[in-house]
């Protein structure tokens, strides 16, 4: 019965149009870098963080980072939980696909559209790390066939779970229903037959999305779309003249190598400040770095709104009644 159900779900996902829960936002105004808003919801008795994450375009780790005080498997009836659906856009060009490994998140900037679409990801676990670098989409395949590398076959054999040399399309294929191949040899974006792994580090280096999300992304991206893979646990960006930072735990191998290291965060803030004369609150920065909740927090004061002056303008600057007022189109 379970096998028949898996086949039915797989077939359904192959034939129905994508209805993913991706988050889509208009791009912010020039000089701004933040999209979305943090939300709060009340849990039901049967909810888990995996369920809540998938229904709201988030990954499991994003939920645990932003709700460290809540049991992810038994949050209980009526518990208030935070949905971290507010993001500082990743640094660099806003084009094509940008994947931030430390954030476990993909950003897609559709060409010619003033918006960004973002999806949660699963990436390679320690020892099978997903590499950074620049690539392009080379081809797409619905119903992909998997050819397990010899190293993965040996790993499975050592655990008493041998793999065949070829895994055909179907519910037992870990690539899921859709695959997007990259010019980075051996790496691809794909679905999964184990969606609970999205938002975690559980793969052998490839990048997995929820089945419903990869079906949508599959239709959105075209061959030759640029793909930029970065590893930025600390992001800094502006909103209405105020600087914010968003911090995530560095990848485990990075923590092992560098320990507690605020230098990348300081560098991100300095790069974002540019020529600005604003002075960041370094204590707020430190607390954000230690908290690592994945939610943008301010590190400079709010900019006071400009209050129109009530002092009359000098007579020489006032228009006489006989002087026509220039239309908006004049002088441009």
Q: Using alpha carbons, select from 45, 54, 52, 63 the residue that is nearest to residue 19.
A: 54
Q: Please list the residues that pair with 24 across neighbouring strands.
A: 117
176: burial class by Cβ within 10 Å (0-12, 13-18, 19+)? Answer: buried
| DSSP codes joined into one string, 105-157 | EEEEE-TT-SEEEEEE-BEEPTTSPPPPEEEEEEEEEES--B---HHHHHHHH
Phi-psi region of 148 (alpha: psi -120 to 50; beta: other; left: phi over 0): beta
- The C-alpha atoms of residue 248 and residue 255 are separated, in whole angstroms, by 12
CA 67 → CA 1, 64, 81, 244, distances in Å? 37, 5, 6, 20
* Greatest Cα pair distance in the chain: 93
3-class DSSP state for residue 242?
A: strand
Q: Using alpha carbons, select from 248, 249, 244, 242 the residue that is nearest to residue 302.
A: 242
- Helix or strand holding residue 245 (H, E): strand 242-247
Name the catalytic one among 204, 206, 248, 315. Answer: 206
3-class DSSP state for residue 331?
A: coil
Backbone dihedral angles phi then psi of residue 234, each to the nearest 5 degrees:
-120, 120
Q: In this structure, how many other beta carbons lie within 10 angstroms of the beta carbon of residue 175?
A: 22
Which two three-digit tokens encode residue 199? Answer: 């938002």
Phi-psi region of 240 (alpha: psi -120 to 50; beta: other; left: phi over 0): left
| Active-site residue flag, 190 | yes
| Active-site residue flag, 206 | yes
- The C-alpha atoms of residue 256 and residue 250 are separated, in whole angstroms, by 10
Q: Which residues are catalytic?
A: 190, 206
């Amino acid at each position: 019965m379970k096998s028949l159900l898996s086949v039915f779900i797989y077939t359904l996902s192959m034939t129905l149009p994508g209805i993913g829960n991706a988050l889509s936002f208009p791009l912010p105004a020039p000089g701004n870098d933040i999209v979305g808003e943090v939300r709060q919801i009340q849990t039901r008795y049967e909810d888990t963080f995996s369920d809540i994450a998938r229904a709201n375009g988030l990954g499991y780790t994003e939920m645990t980072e932003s709700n460290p005080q809540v049991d992810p498997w038994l949050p209980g009836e009526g518990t208030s939980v935070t949905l971290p659906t507010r993001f500082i856009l990743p640094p660099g060009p806003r084009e094509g696909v940008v994947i931030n490994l430390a954030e476990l998140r993909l950003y897609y900037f559709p060409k010619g559209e003033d918006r960004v679409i973002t999806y949660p990801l699963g990436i390679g676990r320690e020892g099978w790390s997903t590499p950074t670098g620049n690539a392009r989409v080379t081809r797409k395949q619905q119903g992909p066939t998997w050819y397990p590398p010899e190293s993965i076959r040996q790993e499975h054999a050592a655990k008493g779970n041998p793999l065949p040399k070829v895994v055909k399309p179907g519910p037992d294929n870990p690539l899921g229903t859709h695959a997007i191949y990259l010019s980075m040899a051996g790496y691809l974006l794909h679905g999964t037959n184990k969606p609970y792994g999205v938002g975690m580090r559980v793969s052998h280096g490839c990048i997995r999305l929820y089945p419903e999300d990869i079906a949508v992304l599959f239709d959105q991206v075209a061959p030759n779309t640029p793909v930029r893979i970065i590893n930025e646990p600390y992001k800094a960006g502006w909103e209405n003249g105020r600087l914010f930072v968003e911090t995530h735990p560095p990848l485990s191998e990075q923590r092992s190598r560098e320990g507690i290291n605020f230098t990348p965060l300081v560098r991100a803030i300095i790069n974002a400040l540019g020529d600005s004369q604003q002075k960041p609150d370094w204590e707020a920065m430190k607390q954000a770095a230690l908290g690592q909740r994945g939610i943008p927090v301010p590190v400079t004061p709010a900019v006071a709104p400009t209050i129109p002056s009530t002092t009359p303008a000098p007579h020489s600057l006032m228009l006489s009644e006989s002087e026509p007022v220039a239309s908006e189109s004049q002088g441009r």
